[in-house]
Structure 1
Amino acid sequence: MDRPPRLTDRTALAAHRARACRGGGPELFLHREALSELQERLSEVNRSFTKPAIVTGFPAFWAEAFPDATVVADTDLLDLEPGAHDLVIHAMALHWADDPVGQLVQARRALVEDGLLLAVSFAGDTLRELRISFAEAESRLRGGLSPRVAPMGDLRDLGGLLQRAGFALPVADLSPRQVDYATPLHLMRELRAMGETNALDQRDRRPLRRDVLAATLDLYATEFPGDNGRVRATFQFAFLTGWAPSENQPQPMRPGSASHRLADALGTVEFDRDMNPMTDSAAADKGDD
């Protein structure tokens, strides 16, 4: 089987993460945001988990939140024992994976039957403003583009990853955040402090030209203003939920097998394609299609 194309320079990514962890420690407020929402989602699951595992590039932060968990790095081969965990959390690392399906397959194999996967990662329109500003500046001044911001999966693609990895009852959704910064340079400094600067394998290794940086900062401030003279940055978390298959899990109903109409249960009126109210008989005929 052919290996997927290499997205990430793992040596550079490890160096960026290590640099972020030195000194006063990494700036992980977005990890805290992700953790808070993830814990809220876990609280809605009517089950206790006694054998959790966490896959992450920032083990100290996530181990503090889940002190009883096995914590492993987000390497190509995850150091997880098959069938050893009832919960696997893939925490803020999937957007750097060369093979995200492989990461999820390994997470599924590490789960007991009916074990839960919860993955959270940057996705969607994350850093769209920075991506656009860099692209425009480089196009003007260099006549070409260099990869500056990691590509982010969209919701449909991410949901498909869960299905391809063999999870039952897969759910994928996006949780957006808008963050204002004093200047685009403050955003770039914070990305550096988060260990999230450019680690793309196909990046331009040469130092960023001053004129390209200046043009990028100017375009960003002009095109994406925030409140009170600041600038705005978009972040989106993708939350992926899936269960290791089990015979005891609920199964989806076959199309056309429902005995009651959803419109009746919700107390609403059902309309046809021309926005005409449907009679009971017409709705029944539609349900038989």
Structure 2
Amino acid sequence: MSQLPRLFDPAQIARNLQRRPASDNFVLDLVLDDLADRLGAHMRAFSRAVLIGPDADRLPKTLHTGSGPVNLSVVEAFSGTEFPDVPEGPHDLIISLLHLQAVDDVPGHLARLRAQLAPDGLLMAAFIGGESLTELREAFLSADLAISGGASARIAPMVQVRDAGALLQRAGFALPVADVETHVVRYGTPFALMAELKALGAANPLVDRPRRFATRTLLAAAAEAYAQKDADADGRIRATLEIVWIAGWVPHESQQKPLRPGSAKVSMTQMLGDKS
């Protein structure tokens, strides 16, 4: 079996996070607020729960479902290893935040998480995907083509929400659900956006990244292309951020199952009426 190509460099991601200045992480805050709402909609108690995410010391140790508090074992997502140091299972809930966007083999990673869950256990995950940072990607592509005549890998590929549910199914999860939360963030200049990405530890995580720093000429050309295409009337530029959410359950006999083909007892004609 051929080995999957490596796209991401986990050790470099860990170094990026260690080097960044201490600052608020508004993306993590957005995701945690959304997680509280989503988990609160479940009328279920979880006794063995794990929360995987960046900035482990900032992650909550307790969340709530509609049935009460859930105590969490918190695990750092970006420790420099390929797979987080998840406590030995089985668990009945695993939550992964802002990690899957930097995983090479997403179905394989999800399958490893599934192996840590008990039957009827729940996986919830949120990751940056979809059309995130499309504006910045296009600006750098335009600048690279204008200056060097070619393109370099500067922004990681993104998983689309339309593919997310299929990834869960490939990993063996039942009742898969996928949706996306879209945010449009505005900045004074493209350089302000780049500075915030660096402050979030989101510098280029790719194995095949350029080994030299971007030149001032390239950065200026990218900023100009960005402002020309994606600036509002007041001069501020737009940046799209899409958070893809997925959820799936480890199969269990108690779960709902689709009816067998041909087992329906009422015909479509009876439901809609005879239109002939």
Which of 155, 179, 184 in structure 1 is aligned with 2:185?
179
Q: Percent identity?
A: 38
How far does residue 260 in structure 1 lie from its aligned partner after superposition?
5.8
The yes-or-no answer on 1:236 pairing with 2:242 is: yes
How far does residue 193 in structure 1 lie from its aligned partner after superposition?
1.0
How far does residue 255 in structure 1 lie from its aligned partner after superposition?
4.4
- Is the radius of gyration larger for structure 1 or structure 2? 1
The yes-or-no answer on 1:73 pairing with 2:76 is: yes
Tell me the distance in 2 between the aligned counterparts of 1:262 and 1:190.
Answer: 55
Give a deviation string over 1:214-259, Cα, whole Å, max 9, x none: 0100111110013632110000000010001111111122345445
- TM-score norm. by structure 1 comes to 0.85
Which of 33, 48, 51 in structure 2 is aligned with 1:36?
33
| One-letter amino acid of the counterpart of residue 68, structure 1 | N
| Residues 55 and 72 in structure 1, CA contact (< 8 A), matched pair in contact too | yes
SS at match of 2:120: strand
- TM-score norm. by structure 2 comes to 0.89
| CA 1:50–1:262: 2 relative to 1, 3 Å | farther
Provide the residue aligned with 1:116 in structure 2: 122
How far does residue 182 in structure 1 lie from its aligned partner after superposition?
0.9
Unaligned runs of 5+ in 1: 266-278, 284-289
Provide the residue aligned with 1:18 in structure 2: 18
The yes-or-no answer on 1:281 pairing with 2:256 is: no
Provide the residue aligned with 2:135 in structure 1: 129
| CA 1:175–1:227: 2 relative to 1, 3 Å | farther
The yes-or-no answer on 1:87 pairing with 2:93 is: yes
Give a deviation string over 1:178-223, Cα, whole Å, max 9, x none: 0011111111111111111111110111110111110100111110
Provide the residue aligned with 1:101 in structure 2: 107
Quick check: which one's strand share is greater?
2
The yes-or-no answer on 1:218 pairing with 2:224 is: yes
SS at match of 1:212: helix
| CA 1:136–1:157: 2 relative to 1, 3 Å | same
Farther off after superposition, 219-228 or 159-168: 219-228
Unaligned runs of 5+ in 2: 64-69
| Residues 162 and 170 in structure 1, CA contact (< 8 A), matched pair in contact too | yes
Provide the residue aligned with 1:52 in structure 2: 49
| CA 1:223–1:247: 2 relative to 1, 3 Å | same
Give a deviation string over 1:107-137, Cα, whole Å, max 9, x none: 1111111111000000000000000000011
| CA 1:84–1:210: 2 relative to 1, 3 Å | same
| Residues 56 and 93 in structure 1, CA contact (< 8 A), matched pair in contact too | yes
Farther off after superposition, 76-85 or 38-47: 76-85
| CA 1:227–1:250: 2 relative to 1, 3 Å | farther
| Residues 84 and 110 in structure 1, CA contact (< 8 A), matched pair in contact too | yes
| One-letter amino acid of the counterpart of residue 31, structure 2 | A
How far does residue 140 in structure 1 lie from its aligned partner after superposition?
0.8
